[in-house]
Amino acid sequence: MPSQFETAHAFTAQWEGGLTDHPADPGGLTNYGVSLRWVQDLAQQARQKCLRQHKNCDACPDARTLGCTCCDIDLDMDGDVDADDIRACTREQAAVLFKKHFWDALGCAALPLPLAVTLYDGAVNMGPGRAVRQLQQGMNAVGEAQLDHYTPIAEDGIPGPRTAELAEALEATNLHWFAARQILRLRDAFYRDLAARRPSLKVFLEGWRNRVKALGQHLAELEREEN
């Protein structure tokens, strides 16, 4: 039986194709969903962490080894993070990166399956902060309307214990599938608003909305399997 991550990633991987470099894509060169902009941001964060710990690459015994914090980002292991790393990226490397920086970082494993799948795919496609805020907004809307005892959670994009507690409460009342569909409606509305505000991104709107629709259908299949 596949793990929750494998179930979630199987859907996401279908929508993250091979090497692309669309001029309207702010992520730049992208391969299997791993964009140059994203990995360079990760590399910068890793360097800043090393600086705070007073580490220097030239003197670090972990440099260019599996112990290096940049190891999983420097995909061609040449000491820098650039377009060559994106071209070298494999499906397997993309899955490892996504599991570490999205699935694990956001605590998806602690969430009910439909919420975990929805959050994970949203984080890969839109970024973790926005995906978590939509999760929180959707769960708040369902909790307020449907739960007898409900305290709203902060919609701050931070997946803390209160977020996990509300997800658990929704699962206990069998509202977690409904909440996931509510989150997808928020995601679809975000895409339409984004394309309206930034006309250069309209070229992606149909694909984004098709992905949301397909995820809704995927969740419906998972729900039937569970029941």
Q: What pLDDT sits at residue 47?
A: 77
Q: What pLDDT sits at residue 66?
A: 47
> How far is the C-alpha of 62 from the C-alpha of 41, rounded, in Å?
21
The reported pTM is 0.90
* pLDDT tens-digit series, residues 58-83: 566 555 554 555 556 777 777 788 89
CB burial of residue 75 (10 Å; 0-12, 13-18, 19+) = buried
The β-bridge partners of 31 are 34
* pLDDT tens-digit series, residues 81-102: 889 999 999 999 999 999 999 9
> How far is the C-alpha of 134 from the C-alpha of 120, rounded, in Å?
12
Q: What pLDDT sits at residue 182?
A: 98
Q: Which two tokens stand for residue 128?
A: 């973790």
* pLDDT tens-digit series, residues 16-42: 988 999 999 999 999 999 999 999 998
* pLDDT tens-digit series, residues 130-155: 999 999 999 999 999 999 999 999 99
Q: Which residue has the tokens 């929704």?
A: 170
Within a 13 Å sphere around the CA of 136, how many CA atoms are in the beta-carbon half? 20
- Contact assessment for residue 11 and residue 105, using Cβ atoms and an 8 Å cutoff: no
